[in-house]
Amino acid sequence: MRRSPGDTARSVRTISRRALMLGGVQLLLVGGLAARMRFLQVDEADKYRLLADENRINIRLLPPARGLIYDRHGVLLAGNEQNYRIVIVREDVGDIETAVARLATLVRLDPEKTEQAIREMKRRSPFVPVTIAERASWEEVARVAVNAPVLPGIGPEVGLSRVYPLGEDFAHVVGYVGPVSDYDLERLDDKDPLLQIPRFQVGKYGIERRLERVLRGSAGTRQIEVNAVGRVMRELDRKEGIPGKNVQLSVEQALQNFVQARLALDQESASAVVMDVENGDLLAVGSTPSFDPNKFVHGISSKDYNALLENPYRPLANKAVQGAYPPGSTFKMVVALTALTEGVIEPEEQITCTGYIEASGRRFHCWRRGGHGRVDLVKSLRESCDVYYYDIAQRVGIEKISAMARKLGLGMKHDLPLSGVAHGLMPTKAWKRERRGAEWLIGDTINAGIGQGYVLTSPLQLAVMTARIASGRAVTPRLVRSLDGIEVPPREAPPLDIDPEHLAIVRRGMYEVVYGQRGTARQSRIADENSLLAGKTGTSQVRNITAAERAEGVIRNEDLPWERRDHALFVSYAPYEVPKYTVTVVAEHGGGGSTAAAPIARDIMLFALHGKLPPLSAYPSSQRRQMRELFSRLDLRAPVAPSQGRGRA
């Protein structure tokens, strides 16, 4: 069939339009390729000539600025400072020993660190810069720069190095960084190329270690042109890395400083935890003695490190979270709540304390040799009667005691970004069978009833326990408040599955501990009616007292070697009616909880409530002269202002 002239004309027009469109696309492609070729061959000719000419372009990593760490008010706890360093690139220096000897005529080199740098160069890729001298002076940098023609592959750099402006106060919380090691590479299991930079600083302890990836940031790159002898001629391109995130902690600088000073004033080795009862914020986590984290930043000397390791008071340990101690009589609230919950005792029921009980052919003694007479629950807490708890512990059994302890936060590892957080131990029959290969005995239950035997807790766990008793809610501790300005919300704290009336009875007993006429902590009461203190003393034995010694008279703590003395404990909260803070103090081998731990906890609580040194009127009138003298002996830091702008150093 023949097509009409109109159909033919339309077909021609359609084909022409398609041809034009196809031709236009082809023209655009050809034009784009031509423009790209011109850009590469003409505009970028010098750049690619350099890249092809004897591999004279090096690409080096740029370490990012490490994130800063602040307290709850913006006081800087961990910052960065400029650090002039001298680096060596092995592939450009020729003979390493000759180059180092030549450099030594211009710059002071530490022999130990120089040997370490030489070993590092031989282990690393030849193009990786290795730091041979850190914290060089401006004069040393200038001498190296002037002599650059005769120092191929050696040059100065400016970087950032970690600094801890508050030194020992936050060493156990913030931790420290140090040069990356083979152990770190294995531990971190991290493919970040930054870790291949010799002496790159990574977190080794505390927040610095646990939040390493958050604080580290991401690397940038730098393209440099070097001449035939390895001298850097110019920088061709630079892409900055992504800085690490800033971290704001819940701790408070002034309170932490007071805690450290107060612990160190009277005790060789002690710890304390201050916690907000409402939201679980940790306001202070103190451990003494402490150490200077700045010594670790560039690699601590063997002499200094050995001195820390060999110190019998263990300055490197954060005893507040890592320490595991028998809780002693501070555990009696757990046993009391268990007995009340299980209905095996009424608050008014009395038990006779004659100074001991007999079970399984053994005598279990009360701390008061003559006994306490007729004892009800409140009196048992006020005067810390052991026989009362021997009795009720047998009635409820270890399984239910351990279950209540875990409900109150004991025997569990709390999720905090700190090193070595202790799990503690709430024993059960199955635990002893599995771990000790033995059956549970009635004597084990009796010992557990007063927080001895297999029971172990940390000061942090005791603070959580006290906060839960005070609030009636399952409060959990929080240390990180925000990351780069974004709040980390507190965890939900639902009501405890414990009868509020039972909690109120136990709280009444804790109040009587401090304000009762025979209260074991009466000497540590607070006179301010708006800041009434509730607490519980504890003294945990670290040695066995033989029958012969008991017959002759138990040796006093002060007459024993330090390491054989009892641990002193005190847990507390205030104000009594409207709880705000809890304070826990453990004095290692400090003696009695009432004399060694309670006074320290009272002073810390008053500082927390007032936000500064408390007025003398907060103390009983008979103690005010003594407290004035004590305050004068405290080695307190001058007030520290929040960092302006809280930007990156």
Which residues carry out catalysis?
A: 329
What is the crossing angle of helices 398-407 and 386-396, to 10°?
Answer: 100
| Tokens of residue 598, six digits | 């309670």
In the block, which residue shows the tokens 């090193």? 419
343-351 contact pairs (CB < 8 A, 24+): 344/392, 344/395, 344/396, 345/377, 345/392, 345/395, 347/376, 347/377, 347/378, 347/505, 348/376, 348/377, 349/376, 349/377, 350/374, 350/375, 350/376, 351/375, 351/380, 351/387, 351/388, 351/391, 351/392
How many angstroms separate the Cα of 359 from the Cα of each of 143, 296, 365, 444?
Answer: 82, 54, 11, 11
Q: Which of 85, 80, 86 is nearest to 65 (CA)?
A: 80
| Tokens of residue 496, six digits | 């405890």
DSSP string, 219-261: -EEEEEEE-TTS-EEEEEEEE--BPPPPEEES--HHHHHHHHH
Torsion over CA: 356, 357, 362, 364 (sign): negative
Query: Which residue type does 45 have?
Result: A
Cα dihedral 24, 26, 28, 34, rounded to 10, equals -150
Q: What is the Cα–Cα distance from 631 to 209, expressed in whole angstroms?
A: 35
| Tokens of residue 359, six digits | 């079970």
Question: Rg of the chain over CA atoms, in angstroms?
Answer: 34
Asked if 377 and 505 count as a contact pair (C-beta separation under 8 A), the reply is yes
Which residues does residue 161 pair with via DSSP β-bridges, in sequence order? Answer: 81
How many angstroms separate the Cα of 9 from the Cα of each of 1, 12, 14?
Answer: 17, 5, 9
DSSP string, 320-337: HHH--B--GGGGHHHHHH
Asked if 526 and 599 count as a contact pair (C-beta separation under 8 A), the reply is no
